[in-house]
């Protein structure tokens, strides 16, 4: 057992026993002649007392010595013990949010019963919603991105240094061959085209990296844009010296949070390399001055840098909050199988606050009035279908300009995917986007899910607003009970 875990458990038990005896630290210090500061460090898991002091504490607190040193916790503290023993505190990226592990231990030791109840609640929620280790890590990553408005100056500067050092011409669309040469010549890569051809169960995997031989095996189905992005990510892993990494794209599973974080950092680097900051800023400023929305022109803006709408939309989530100060925005990626009326929200990001909609883990039906879902049913083979809509949420009176592009899913046969970016309509947005006044942009009242939608006359509703009805029924019952109490008072 790790010494740290043993110290923490002893400290938690000592504090629990002391408080049950209604003793303060000062009082226990008086009874034992052990300094108050030393007892405090014991209870916080920073010190472990010698045998003679444990014997003294055992005698004063009237607790058997063996019980005091045992690692077994009672039911009130058992979940805390499991959390501490699982090393989850070391896996949570506390440092990214300016939190030290010692701070969290202090919180736990100061209110173990309350923290225990909180942790037990989280565990129960995770079990009920079938949240995986990967889901937890990805949620932590989203929080990290959102805390930084999804803009990371250090990576932007690293890309600029790389471009200068390797004389990359960013005035033209970057080609995979340019990056392949760097991987081979500078980082000693062995790249095998069609290297996954003999593995039939890897149809959805685009590449596999073998670290021992620096071999990169590519799928035969990847296109030029995907290959360029893969090469850019591999360059990022090497140029940024990211050691903890994933060896497949798309990922299969994450073992540690560092893998999750480094995968994101490498992807950010790749996006910034393929779509230069200055170029997209200039492009957007020009586009925002248009009096009318133009889907074809927007597609041309994507194609200038890449054939992947998702790469472009992800880059928008970096640039719009930083350069244009549009910080109330969301990014969504939906997927669905052809001819099936089920839609999966497979990726999301919310800057500043939780903008609607958010992923729903209870298998409810997402609103069919969203343009991101509507476009999935209009996808044309080998084409990008782009549209725009103003989405109005009647329950909170918020309006969003939502731009969405849909394509056949490049990773799954007979599937489509759409990517969308939503911008809260505010005085700032109105002042900078001239085409917001375009009468051709359709405004639709939307909900989040059919089960919770207040819109009564909806032509595409999949099911009744059962969750909303339950809420109304409970509110009516509560109101009746209040009236009864008032009548009989």
Q: Which two tokens stand for residue 53?
A: 């002091």
Opening angle at CA 406, ends 401 and 408, nearest 5: 170
Q: Which two tokens stand for residue 358?
A: 């958010």
pLDDT digits 0-9 by tens, 299-318: 999 999 999 999 999 999 99
- Read off the pLDDT of residues 403-415 as tens digits, 9 standing for 90 and up: 999 998 877 778 8
Can you read off the two tokens belonging to residue 247? 């060896």
Assign 200 to helix, strand or coil.
helix
Q: Decide if 339 contacts 323 (C-beta within 8 A).
A: no
pLDDT tens track for 60-83: 999 888 888 888 776 666 656 666
pTM tops 0.85, yes or no = no
Per-residue model confidence as pLDDT tens digits over 151-163: 999 999 999 999 9
Q: For 420-431, what is the mean pLDDT?
A: 94
Rounded CA gap, 340 and 368, in Å?
Answer: 13
What rounded mean pLDDT belongs to the chain?
85
Rounded Cα distance, 109 and 10, in Å: 11
Model confidence pLDDT, tens digit, residues 243-286 = 999 898 888 888 888 888 899 999 999 999 999 999 999 999 99
Q: Give the model's pLDDT for residue 81.
A: 65
Q: What is the pLDDT of residue 469?
A: 85
Sheet containing 215-218: which strands, arranged edge to edge? 190-192, 215-218, 207-210, 248-249
The tokens for 249 are: 């794209």
List C-alpha distances in Å: 247 to 196, 235, 253, 311, 402.
14, 14, 10, 20, 35
Task: Count Cα neighbours of 369 within 13 Å in the Cβ-side half-sphere.
Answer: 21
Q: What was the pLDDT predicted at 400?
A: 94
Task: Name residues whose C-beta falls within 8 Å of residue 276's C-beta, 6 or more positions apart in sequence.
Answer: 159, 163, 170
* Model confidence pLDDT, tens digit, residues 328-359: 999 999 988 876 778 888 888 888 766 666 66
Residue 88 pLDDT: 56
Check residues 109 and 365 and name the one with the higher pLDDT: 365
Q: What is the largest CA-CA distance in the chain?
A: 87
């Amino acid at each position: 057992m790790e010494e740290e875990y043993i110290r923490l458990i002893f400290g938690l038990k000592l504090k629990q026993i002391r408080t049950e005896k209604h003793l303060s630290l000062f009082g226990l210090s008086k009874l034992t002649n052990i300094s108050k500061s030393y007892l405090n460090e014991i209870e916080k898991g920073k010190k472990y007392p010698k045998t003679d002091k444990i014997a003294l504490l055992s005698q004063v607190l009237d607790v058997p010595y063996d019980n005091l040193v045992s690692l077994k916790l009672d039911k009130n503290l058992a979940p805390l013990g499991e959390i501490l023993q699982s090393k989850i505190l070391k896996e949570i990226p506390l440092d990214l949010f300016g939190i030290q592990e010692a701070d969290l231990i202090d919180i736990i030791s100061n209110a173990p019963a309350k923290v225990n109840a909180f942790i037990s609640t989280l565990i129960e929620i995770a079990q009920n919603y079938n949240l995986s280790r990967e889901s937890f890590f990805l949620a932590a990553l989203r929080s990290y991105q959102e805390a930084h408005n999804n803009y990371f100056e250090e990576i932007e500067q690293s890309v600029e240094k790389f471009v200068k050092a390797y004389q990359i011409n960013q005035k033209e669309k970057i080609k995979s061959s340019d990056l392949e040469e760097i991987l081979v010549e500078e980082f000693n890569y062995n790249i095998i085209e069609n290297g996954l051809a003999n593995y039939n169960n890897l149809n959805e995997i685009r590449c596999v990296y073998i670290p021992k031989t620096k071999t990169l095996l590519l799928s035969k189905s990847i296109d030029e844009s995907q290959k360029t992005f893969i090469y850019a990510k591999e360059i990022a892993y090497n140029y940024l010296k990211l050691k903890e990494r994933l060896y497949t794209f798309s990922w299969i599973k994450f073992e540690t949070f560092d893998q999750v974080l480094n995968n994101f950092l490498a992807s950010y680097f790749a996006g910034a390399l393929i779509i230069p900051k200055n170029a997209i800023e200039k492009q957007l400023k020009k586009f925002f001055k248009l009096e009318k929305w133009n889907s074809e022109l927007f597609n041309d803006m994507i194609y200038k840098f890449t054939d992947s709408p998702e790469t472009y939309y992800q880059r928008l989530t970096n640039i719009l909050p930083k350069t244009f100060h549009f910080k109330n925005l969301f990014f969504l990626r939906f997927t669905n199988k052809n001819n099936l009326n089920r839609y999966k929200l497979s990726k999301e990001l919310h800057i500043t606050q939780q903008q609607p909609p958010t992923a729903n883990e209870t298998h409810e039906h997402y609103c069919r009035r969203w343009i991101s879902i509507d476009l999935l049913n209009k996808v044309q083979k080998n084409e990008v279908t782009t549209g725009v809509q103003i989405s109005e949420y009647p329950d909170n009176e918020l309006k969003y300009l939502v731009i969405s592009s849909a394509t056949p899913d490049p990773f799954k046969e007979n599937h489509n995917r759409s990517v969308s970016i939503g911008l809260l309509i505010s005085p700032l947005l109105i002042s900078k986007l001239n085409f917001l006044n375009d009468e051709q942009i359709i405004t639709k009242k939307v909900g989040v899910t059919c089960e919770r939608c207040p819109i009564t006359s909806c032509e595409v509703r999949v099911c009744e607003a059962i969750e909303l009805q339950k809420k109304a029924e409970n509110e009516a019952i509560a109101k009746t009970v209040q009236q009864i109490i008032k009548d009989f008072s």
